[in-house]
Structure 1
Amino acid sequence: MELPMRPRAAAYPLLAALAWGAMFPILATALARVDPLNLTTARYLFATVILVGILLIREGSAALRLGGRGVEVVVLGVVGFAGFNLLTNLALEHAAPQQISLFVATTPIITQLVRWARDGVRPKPLLLVLSLVALLGVGLVITRGSLAGLGQFGLGGLMMIGAVLGWAVYTHGATRFGGWSPLRFTTLTALAGTAAMLAASIGADAVGWQHAPAAADLVAVTPQLAYAVLVAAVVAVLAWNTGVQRLGAANAALFMNLVPVTTFIVQIARGYRPEGIELIGAAITIAALVAANLAARTRTRPSSPPRPTAVTDPVAVVDPVAVAAR
């Protein structure tokens, strides 16, 4: 059953999408000084330390226990955190930020397909149609109205398809942890993903695929790391997982269509000049997302109230904005 779209709950995935949209141009500037794997690992080493500290303060050491779900946590952490972030940073070496971010708009469709494959839940026809319309708008931006533009992404595009698939699996998996607070789920999966990133970076450094950054390099990218850690990793991921638990994976995933739009706005502010067809495509994407949200809000509520879970307990749900402000 799809959850009704509530304005306050919708603020969480909206915050995450906006934060991630700005992240692509910011990280692209840091890649000039730090290799992709090392940049991703440094980012999540800092973020995970912060998340663990917040979790211990709010929920105590018992929240670090896996409760017999270690395999699920590790798989989701490796596929979601490590897979998405490593592939995204690697892809940024092969294509511009606004091009890479466009692939994120496929998240709603891929999430619904993952849900269909794993749970046997067919996508709601209206949401699927509106997701396809949004994807059409993104396609206009990618191709600039010409089919010849489909071949410009190459290896970077393939990496992003894998990254989005990993994030769709992670987003769907988050709905299976209704008894955990978003903070606990985020922290434990981040621990698993960060361990995988660290192993990949050490291996890549050892064989010469990349080089460990010098202290001066990390200092030079401190502003980018600060944003990537505090905003795009800690606040945004907490907001995303909160939104997934409150809205459901399919509804939350719709907001990912705003990631490329935000990236384009940032790039325009930095001097990029899009063509008219790109602006039309962005407008179609936004219109489809708004229509999907309105359709979800007007959906008829069930006659009997749903069984409460730990997620509906205000004590168990973490407000990432409030956490970040403390």
Structure 2
Amino acid sequence: MKTKAWLFLILANIFWAGNLVFGKSVTADFPPVWAAFLRWAIAASVLLPMAQLVEKPSWIQIWRRNWGLLLFMSLIGIAIYTLLTYTALKYTSSTNGSLINSLTPAVVSVLSFLFLKEKVKFRQGAGLILSLIGVLTVLTKGRLLAIFDTSYNMGDAILLAAVFLWAVYSIVSKRAQHLPPIAFVAMTAVLGVLFMTPLLFMQPLHREQVTPLGIMGIIYLGLFPSIGSFLFWNRGVKELGAGKASITMNLMPIFTAGLSILFGQPLLLSQVIGGTIVIAGMLLSANPMSRKQAVSNAGAHHGGELTLKPVSHIESKCT
């Protein structure tokens, strides 16, 4: 049973890595806003009937009691975050995107310390600093001393903004733990699609540029990272606990690099070195939870990333 749980967690992370790799190729056919819109439209069309079948939620009651929270989280976590991610992937590599996303736990920790007064242990802080050095190694192509003189890629800067928004989303998402998880993600997906609809006219879609590969990529984004990762992650957390499950998130940069190579994207030495440092930092900062905590968290709600990243995943990691 535990072997199957680890397999579920690995698959979830592979699908999340695929979001960045396929997202990179999809933006060659679709404008970023169309990529984000179609991804969540596909996900919503599957999640709505799934939630009705599995959870049978009271949709109207959920909306009346949580409309402000749902609007905020769909705007920040579905519409803006996803749009920024796909916009960034037009200018930077999927490998860079994965490594920059790995900064999320550091940003979450800082915001939690500033606004929630949560303490940061020495080991956790040291690991986060080490991870930051790893990301800077990637962004500066290994020339850390030239950090202030380096001309940064616009895509990297956009992803850093997305990481900040996702950190805000992850902190606020704790307020949604009382909601049915599938219904919650379905509702935020629908609202996110509605938010993005007016923006479609700002980036018109040129149908003649859409290829079969681009269509396959959109379908992948709508099904695998948006739904598949969500289901596999929750199954793995249920068996192993959130603490152990979070360790597997350190594999995502490796999976992203591997998939990028398969799709013909070059892998730089600075990315290899930086990625190794990032993973080492994440392992150092991992805070093993007690068995009692892990069992307790395993039953908690794990809400959307948008790549549908669950709440527990964000608290322990990150997009």
Please state which band the TM-score falls in when normalised by the shorter chain.
0.7 to 0.9
SS of structure 2 residue aligned to 1:274: coil
Corresponding position: 1:79 with 2:76: yes
Measured in 1, the distance between the counterparts of 2:64 and 2:57 equals: 13
In structure 2, the partner of 1:52 is 48
Query: In 2, are the aligned partners of 1:175 and 1:244 still within 8 Å (CA)?
Result: no
Instruction: Tell me by how many angstroms 1:102 deviates.
Output: 2.4
Residues 14-29 of structure 1: pairs in structure 2 closer than 5 A: 15-29=11-25
How far apart, CA to CA, are the structure 1 residues paired with 2:13 and 2:153?
A: 25
Aligned to 2:159: 160
Residue 234 of structure 2 contacts residue 302 of structure 2 at CA under 8 Å; is this kept in 1?
no
How much has 1:45 moved relative to structure 2? 0.7
The 8 Å contact of residues 92 and 100 in structure 1, kept in 2 or not, is answered as yes
Q: Secondary structure at the match of 1:175?
A: helix
Question: In structure 2, do the counterparts of structure 1 residues 39 and 317 end up closer, same or farther at CA, with 3 Å as the change threshold?
Answer: closer
Alpha-carbon distance, 1:163 to partner: 1.0
The aligned counterpart of 1:93 is 90
Distance 1:239 1:118, change over 3 A: farther
The answer to whether the aligner puts 1:236 opposite 2:229 as a matched pair is: yes
Q: Compare 10-19 and 267-276 and name the one that shifted more.
A: 10-19
Aligned to 1:191: 190
Q: Which of 94, 99, 115 does residue 112 from structure 2 map onto? A: 115
Report how far residue 199 of structure 1 moved. Answer: 2.6
Q: Does the 8 Å CA contact 2:73/2:188 hold for their aligned counterparts?
A: yes
Q: Tell me the TM-score normalized by structure 1.
A: 0.76
Match of 1:43 in 2: 39
Cα deviation for residue 116 of structure 1 reads 2.5
Q: 1:29 to 1:35 in 2, by over 3 A?
A: same
The answer to whether structure 1 residue 146 and structure 2 residue 138 are counterparts is no
**Equivalences, count:** 298
Deviation digits for residues 178-214 of structure 1 (CA, Å, limit 9, x no counterpart): 2223212222222222221223224x1xxxxx21343
Name the structure 2 match of 1:182.
Answer: 181
| Helix, strand or coil at the partner of 1:66 | helix
Structure 1 residue 126 displacement after superposition:
1.9
In 1, distance between residues paired with 2:292 and 2:54? Answer: 33
CA displacement, residues 253-275 of structure 1 (integer Å, 9 cap, x when unaligned): 77655433322222223344534
1:312 aligned to 285, 294, 299, which one? 299
For residue 288 of structure 1, the aligned residue among 281, 289, 297 is 281
1:247 aligned residue (233, 242, 248): 242
SS in 1 for 2:210: helix
Q: Which amino acid aligns with 1:19?
A: F
* Partner amino acid, structure 2, of 1:296: P
Determine the structure 2 residue equivalent to 1:217: 210
Structure 2 CA distance for partners of 1:253 and 1:142, relative to 1, 3 Å: farther
- Counterparts in 2 of 1:185 and 1:118: CA distance versus 1, 3 Å: farther
In 1, the alpha carbon distance for the partners of 2:162 and 2:129 equals: 19
Residue 22 of structure 1 deviates from its aligned partner by: 2.1
TM-score normalized by the length of structure 2: 0.78
Give the aligned CA root-mean-square deviation in angstroms.
3.6
Aligned-partner Cα distance in 1 for 2:248–2:207:
37
The answer as to whether partners of 2:139 and 2:156 remain within 8 angstroms in 1 is: no
C-alpha distance in 1, partners of 2:106/2:32? 27
Unaligned stretches of 5+ in structure 2?
A: 309-319
- Checking the alignment, whether the CA contact within 8 Å between 1:45 and 1:194 is kept in structure 2 is yes
Question: How many Å separate the matches in 2 of 1:53 and 1:17?
Answer: 25
| CA displacement at 1:98 relative to structure 2 | 2.0
Contact 2:247 2:283 in 1 (8 A): no
- Report deviation, 1:67: 4.8
Identity of aligned residues (%): 22
SS in 1 for 2:82: helix
User: CA separation in 1, counterparts of 2:89 and 2:302?
Assistant: 34
* CA offset digits 1:82-131 (Å, max 9, x no partner): 12110011111222222233210110111112322332212333222212
Q: Which amino acid aligns with 2:27?
A: L
Higher mean C-alpha displacement, 31-40 vs 153-162: 153-162
Q: Name the CA distance, whole Å, in 1 between partners of 2:170 and 2:271.
A: 28
Q: Which position in structure 2 is the counterpart of 1:3?
A: none
Shift of 1:282: 2.1
Partner of 2:102, secondary structure, is helix
Q: 1:35 to 1:112 in 2, by over 3 A?
A: same
